[in-house]
Amino acid sequence: MRLNPRFTDKFIRGALLFQALFTVSILVFIVFIVFIKGAANITPQFIFSYPEDMGRHGGIFPAILGTVFLAVLSIALATPLGVGTAIYLTEYTKESTLTRIIRFGVESLAGIPSIIYGLFGFIFFVIKLKLGWSLLSGTLTIMIMVLPTIIRTAEEAIKAVPRNLRIVSFSLGATKWETVTKVVLPSAAPGILTGIMLSVGRAVSETAAVIFTMGSSLRLPTSLLDSGRTMAVHFYILAREGISLEKAYATALVLVVSILLINIAAYYTMNKMIGRYS
């Protein structure tokens, strides 16, 4: 028996639409649940006070600050390295075996799962370098983890800068570095910023690599050698050990909202970049 192709066509269209809507609705459902269950417990006090009784009462202030410190410090270290790599690959060399090897390295770093970063950070920073479970160990581990994202996006952004701009700059007598800093980088800034924000998102949502390098102390880290908790780790411990479901949902809400905001900002800047050159 053969079905009427027109009928099949309509049927398939419907089925695919259903699949698309189903997928979107699962993902929307997740955000929705977190909002519904978490919103009731979000108060200024929750954001700005210290946890008591392992997080059963009180707020998540140290976890929020811990997250900010980890994200900002690791990105501050990864950005110069990553953008530097991208500049080298695009402006200072031609395609060669060397650049292929470097790109291979970047791709491989990007593919390594976060638990391996956790293992590595634990053995290298925490134990071998004797940094202990600390903000510093966490920062260095996350720095390596986000490096590939920054390199890739920066490379794409720099490549998208029209060749003419460079030629004009050179013809005005600018050196290579002057061209890079005064012409190429400003034009590529939105793209680079996108990569930075995506990396911040990754640092904020990471658990496995952080818990083994930064530890899970509930105190506010006041130095680089102090241990601390990020929101993701705090949420994991609250939820998993059943300490307090209300606080867990509320923490999840803060976490998800901040990540969504970071990602939206990243898309906004990316669209600005695309808008400029197309």
Partner 1 sequence: MGRIYYVRRGSYRSVANRFFSREHLIKCLLVVAAFSSLLFLFIIFAFILGEGLPLFYKVGVIKIILGFTWAPTKGFFGIFPMIVSSYMVTLGALIFGAPLALGCATYLSEYASRRMKLFLKPALELLAGIPSVVYGFLGVVYIVPLIREYLGGPGFSILATSAVLGIMILPTIISISFDSLMSVPPTYREASIAMGATKWQTICNVVLPAARSGILASFILGMGRAVGETMAVIMVAGNALRIPMSLLDPLRTLTSNIALELAYAAGDHRSALFSTGVVLLIIIMILNFVANFWVKRKVTG
Partner 2 sequence: MRSNLATPIALLLFIALICWGTFDLRKSGAGRKDTVTLAGSTSVMPFSEKLAEYFMLSHPRLSVEVQGGGSSAGIQATINRTVDIGMSSRNLKDDEKVHKQILICYDGISIIVHPSNPVRDISLDQIQKVYSGRIRNWRELGWIDRNIDAVSREEGSGTRGAFEELVMGKAFIDDGIMVQDSNGSVKEVVATDPYAIGYISLGIVDQKVKALTIDGVIPSVRNIIQQKYGMVRPFLYLTATEPAGAVKVFIDFVLSRDGQNILRKEGLVPIRG
Q: Using CB under 8 A, which residues numbered 112 to 171 contact partner 1?
A: 112-120, 122-124, 128, 144, 147-148, 151
Provide the CB-side half-sphere exposure for 245 (13 A, CA). Answer: 3
Window 25-64: contact mask with partner 1 (x via CB under 8 A): -xx--xx-xx------------------------------
Taking the C-alpha atoms of residue 64 and residue 14, their distance in angstroms, rounded to an integer, is 44
Partner interacting with residue 109 (select from partner 1, partner 2, none; CB below 5-8 Å by kind): partner 1
Nearer to partner 2, 42 or 68 (CB): 68
Cβ 184 to partner 2 shortest distance, Å: 13
Q: How far apart are CA 12 and CA 234, in angstroms?
A: 45
Smallest distance, Å, CB 241 to partner 2? 3
Interface segment toward partner 1; rule CB under 8 A; list 52-60, 65-73, 188-196, 229-237: 229-237
Residue ranges in 213-252 that form contacts with partner 2 under rule CB under 8 A: 215-219, 222-227, 240-243
For residue 52, the SS3 value is: strand
Length of the chain measured in residues: 278
Q: The tokens of 127 are what?
A: 């134990």
Residue with tokens 């053995």: 123
Partner from partner 1, partner 2, none contacting 189, C-beta within 5 to 8 A by type = partner 2
Residues 6 or more apart whose CB falls under 8 angstroms from that of 260 comprise 31
The alpha carbon of residue 168 and the mean position of all alpha carbons in its chain are separated, in whole angstroms, by 36
218 makes contact, choosing from partner 1, partner 2, none, with CB < 5 to 8 Å by partner type, with partner 2
Half-sphere exposure of 103 (CA within 13 A, CB side): 15
